[in-house]
Amino acid sequence: MFSISNIHFEISERKMILRIFDVLSVLVALYITGIFFEFDYFVISASNYYWAIVLGIYINAFGSIFEMYNLQVASNQFQVLKSILLTVSTTVLVYLLTPFFSPQLPSNRIQILLFFAVTFLALFTWRMMYVKFLASNRFFQKAILICDQDQLQELIEGLENIDPHYKIIGYVSTDLIEENTIDYKHVQRIERDNMFTFVKENGKVEIVIASQKTDGITPDLYQQLLHLLESGNIIREYTQVYESITQRIPVQFMSRDFYRFFPFSRSNQNRLYLIIVRIFEIAISFVGLGIGLIILPLILVGNAMANRGQLFYTQERVGMDGIIFKILKFRTMVKNAEANGAVFTSVNDVRVTSFGKFLRKTRIDEFPQFVNILKGDMAVIGPRPERPVFVKEIATIMPFYETRHVIKPGLTGWAQVNYSYGESIDDSLIKLQYDLYYIKHRSIYLDLNIAFKTITTVLFYRGQ
């Protein structure tokens, strides 16, 4: 029988629910307001239906920028309140100032105040309902792992640390010798012969196969999996689950011949997509350089006072197809910062000057790279270009690392908006997972997602 305790929404489904009901709640609230109050600024009819469409686009766009669709933010009533205030304030302001796509500005200021208040209260009420009901423990997805015991902790933490609604409740060891097997925290060890019974006792459970030992899937275990599949249980491979939850590729669980089954995005070879992207890159570069010229006097003053040295610097980076090019940036470090050799930049790096910290936090230090984009060395969106010395070092440890070079490096990328600055080889592995996810799923939609997240990074002063 259907039970609300068995409901689970995937990450993409939860985000879609948020987007749809954000718009619906506001439109319904405005419609009701128009019925009971003298509110004639926003009236939906057959002749002006596009007003509602534009308002919905603004809510989704600014909601993305101010992190209303970040599930961690959406599940916290205090953080989401801040996001709602910023989103509603910006949405209402822009909506009022674009009368070509929206109603004419009302002469009565009460109308504007009412428009803001209703929009805010509608979003706030719906989001508090989401926090109380949809973001509650009742919507956990229960799962069991079929895996090698020595990978158990890494596999569990890899899923649960990203999505707290995804709970591993048990595991089946595929080790041929099951001696000294123990439970891990809340995860119970399940005897192979009892897996079918365990699943039935715990309701709707997803089975995740993570074992790399094919001989560990015994005929009896295989038959139980078939029976569970016939009973309506979902069975998925670990890398598939990991990718859908974390939005990165788990290269540490793939064999060296992953090229045989790693599906590169068709967009990488789609000429129409590449032409459209290139046109936008050129336009964005001119805008970026224009903004850079406007703020250049301030940068010159700051550089003279707090950097005391040359304004620009160049550095060799590895581009598409492994071709070396020179990247252009505003200097943010002290002179002779690498007198003892190349090292990764770290958080609170003592080599970064006081003005350099400001340039990095605001991402202003990257503005000169619009020149590299115009030259064709870089794209606006793609994996960040790395230095040859680090590429050589990392590639000896990670056999997939140079796969990043199948597309142009970018000014910003999926790894940059989802992960902090790389300080070590381990950080480079995580960023590689994000880069490969982008290469695999590259599309206009993902590009827009990265663009919105980049704006968020700049507005919230999160650059490094």
User: Do 329 and 347 belong together in one domain?
Assistant: yes
Residue 214 in any domain: the answer is yes
Highest mean pLDDT among 100-114, 221-235, 371-385: 371-385
Residue 260 in any domain: the answer is no
For the entire predicted model, the pTM comes to 0.81
User: 322 is written with which tokens?
Assistant: 């492994």
Residue 179 pLDDT > 60, yes or no?
Answer: no
Over range 343-367, report the average pLDDT.
82
Out of 2-16, 17-31, 118-132, 342-356, pick the least confident: 2-16
Out of 84-98, 347-361, 375-389, pick the least confident: 347-361
User: Do 100 and 165 belong together in one domain?
Assistant: no
Task: Please tell me the total count of domains within the chain.
Answer: 3
Residue 25 pLDDT > 80, yes or no?
Answer: yes
Q: Can you tell me the distance from the alpha carbon of 41 to that of 136, in angstroms, rounded to the nearest whole number?
A: 37
Q: DSSP 3-state assignment of 105?
A: coil
* Full DSSP string of 220-281: HHHHHHHHHHHTT--EEEHHHHHHHHHSS--GGGS-TTGGGT----GGGT-HHHHHHHHHHH
What single-letter DSSP state applies at residue 37? S
Say which residue the tokens 């690498």 belong to. Answer: 338
User: Do 148 and 76 belong together in one domain?
Assistant: no
User: Do 130 and 179 belong together in one domain?
Assistant: no
Model confidence pLDDT, tens digit, residues 394-429: 888 887 888 899 999 999 999 989 887 666 777 888
User: Do 233 and 116 belong together in one domain?
Assistant: no
Domain that holds residue 22: 4-134
User: Do 200 and 329 belong together in one domain?
Assistant: no
User: Do 301 and 209 belong together in one domain?
Assistant: no
User: Residue 144, exposed/middle/buried by CB under 10 A (0-12, 13-18, 19+)?
Assistant: buried
Residue 253 in any domain: the answer is no
Confidence at 2, pLDDT banded by 50, 70, 90: very low
Residue 192 in any domain: the answer is yes
Over range 153-162, report the average pLDDT.
80
User: 152 is written with which tokens?
Assistant: 């158990």
Q: What is the pLDDT of residue 92?
A: 93
User: Do 242 and 338 belong together in one domain?
Assistant: no
Confidence at 1, pLDDT banded by 50, 70, 90: very low
Which positions ≥6 away from 152 have C-beta within 8 Å?
145, 171, 184, 187
Q: DSSP 3-state assignment of 135?
A: coil
Pairing between β-strand 324-330 and β-strand 312-318 as defined by DSSP bridges = antiparallel
B/e letters for 104-118, b = 16+ CB within 10 Å, e = fewer, are eebeeeebeebbbeb
Model confidence pLDDT, tens digit, residues 34-69: 888 888 888 777 778 888 999 999 999 999 999 999
